[in-house]
A and B are shown apart, each in its own frame.
Chain A
Amino acid sequence: MQIMEIIDKYKAYYSVRAKKYEGNGRYKNTYNAEMKLSQAMQACSTLEDFRDRLGDLNELCAIALIRDQYIMESEHFGKHQEKVRKKEAELVLEKIDSCVNVSDVMKLVSDVSSQISVEISMDESQADAFLGKLHLLEQYLVYSNAEVPEMYQHIIRENAGEKLIELIESMQTVEKNNSAWQQQWKVNPDVCFEHRHFRHCPISAEHLQELRNLYKTIVQR
């Protein structure tokens, strides 16, 4: 095959790469970077030209793609009030300009992602610790308030006591486990009223507040 034929095929390839992102507003930076690469390649007439003109244009395409993906993530989590998850995108976008090549960007992404994944897990634990235990609070209320004949009262109150112990022990377990990840981590049911957690709650905010107050009294947090 003639070398000119190969060169034309490469030009077609780079043109298609750019076309893939054409008109897609979510990949604006990627499209611009791919266009720069394609334009540089269209001007080549020898394979040596390709090597010379390529420079860091290919790397810049990869970085632009990562930038677009994090812009998307930042907007997405911002729209859904996911303030903890949004941090990863914010930190990467804040520092991506200081990266000189793709390896730098990958290292940045890996470091930020590890750091934020711990914060996300800690935040999710707040929901598990309180919203995940609503059934125990309800059972405690049922057994505490149920009217039963005198001779059966000790049984029903024992059941209520068991639910109290379950609530306290589950709080102690999660605090112990999470302190290994974040020093002095404490359960805080108030966090569950923020949209990212409250959207999973099946009852009204008013009723959840009542259960939150009861929970705080029981676990002393």
Chain B
Amino acid sequence: MLDQIVQQNIAGEHVEKMTAVLQRIDELGSEHSDFNAFNAQLISENLFARFSEYYTLALTEQHSASGNQGNGVYNDAELLKSCVSGLVQSIESIEQGYKQAVAEAGKSGNAIEVEVLQNPDSIIQSIRELIALGQSEGMTLPDFLRIQIEKGLDKAMEGVVVQREGLMFEKQFTEANPVSPFHVEEVSEALEVFESLCRNSAFGVPESKEWTMLRDDIHRKYVSDIARFIKIRSSWEDILLDLSIWSLSYTKFAPEIFPWAETSRPFEAVKETQNINPGVIREKLKLFHKFFGLEFLDIFRHPTFLWQIKYHYHRNFLNFRLKKCILCANRFNIFRKM
């Protein structure tokens, strides 16, 4: 940012303060070897915010100074051109930021995820619409500003215009991979509330702050149910996994497969599983009953289990695995004292 200021030949009190803040950041960088402590010091001295504040003041002062150099004659075409060129620059900077993010993610092998999830095409498209409006024949600055509001295009830079598209994507994604019924309800409700807010907004596009608060209300409505659903599911998944490993330990080939084959003494490790897992499973079942009032067989009637069957597990595989596990567990009296 300081380089940019220098390149634009902006100088003065605020630029000097920017330089001083940057020097202080450099000083702290050489004082601290722990990044966390360095970051804490930056925040406690408010250095990021102060740097940003002086940057804004330097630019504002420059802008006011250049504005005052005019001859006082109103030139609508020039003012409109300046607005549109600001939008063109913003597209360039969004595209540049996107390319950098993809390149950065590529270093850790996540380029495709960033490429898809942070794709700025929608937001760029809405800014292009604004540019096209500004460049249309006979356009004036006041018309340009008014039509933006009437069409909701003034929200392009806030991203509100792409919210509907984002919510639709979120809904489809959640429905394709539904973690719980509450996730599906939450995103459906969010879409409904968003549409209703659009309908009730003067020009069909909601204010971003208002929407953020309403979206948070919806999330909070479901958060406890989601936490409980996930905890119950992960508890019985853990129990069934232990049970599955335990029953597998009785197969002839157990010492030759994971996890026992990975140990230095596979035969002893198999014996350990056979002797330790029953006690561990009983204790896990006790906590499961204590926290959620559920017995072992309740698992298979519970909504969390039925949800997994419906959306995530293959019924035949599960039936086979469970029948084998339960049969084995009963035969070895694993549920005694329950």
Contacts and interface: CB of A to CB of B under 8 A. Distances in A.
Nearest to B38: A180
A22 interface: yes
Contacts of A17: 149
B93 interface: no
Interface size on B, as a range, is: 35 or more
Contacts of B283: 141-143, 145-146
B194 to A, nearest CB: 16
Interface SS of chain A: helix, strand, loop or mixed? helix
A128 interface: no
Interface string B142-176: 11011001100000000000000000000000000
Given A9-B140, A10-B142, A114-B48, 20 more contacts: A6-B140, A9-B142, A12-B146, A13-B143, A13-B149, A24-B210, A73-B209, A80-B220, A103-B57, A106-B56, A110-B49, A113-B49, A118-B43, A146-B282, A147-B279, A152-B276, A155-B276, A202-B231, A207-B290, A207-B291
A6 B209 contact: no
A100 interface: no
Nearest to A148: B279
Interface in A1-54: 1, 3, 6, 9-10, 12-13, 16-17, 19-24, 26-27, 47
Contacts of B46: 110-111, 114-115
A107 interface: yes
Interface in A158-179: 177
Contacts of B213: 72-73, 76
A174 B282 CA distance: 33
A146 B279 contact: yes
A1 B75 CA distance: 11
A156 B149 CA distance: 67
Interface of A: 1, 3, 6, 9-10, 12-13, 16-17, 19-24, 26-27, 47, 69, 72-73, 76, 80, 103, 106-107, 110-111, 113-115, 117-118, 138, 141-143, 145-149, 151-152, 155-156, 177, 180-181, 199-204, 207
B144 to A, nearest CB: 9
Interface of B: 34, 36-37, 39-41, 43-44, 46, 48-49, 52-53, 56-57, 60, 74, 76, 140, 142-143, 145-146, 149-150, 201-203, 207, 209-210, 213, 216-217, 220, 223-224, 227-228, 230-232, 272, 275-276, 278-280, 282-284, 286-287, 290-292
Contacts, number: 135
A57 B79 CA distance: 21
Contact of B43 (A106, A142, A181, A199): A181
30 contacts: A1-B76, A6-B140, A9-B146, A20-B149, A24-B202, A24-B210, A26-B207, A27-B207, A27-B210, A69-B209, A76-B213, A76-B216, A110-B52, A138-B287, A142-B284, A142-B287, A145-B286, A146-B283, A148-B275, A148-B279, A180-B37, A180-B40, A180-B41, A199-B224, A199-B227, A200-B223, A200-B224, A201-B227, A202-B230, A202-B232
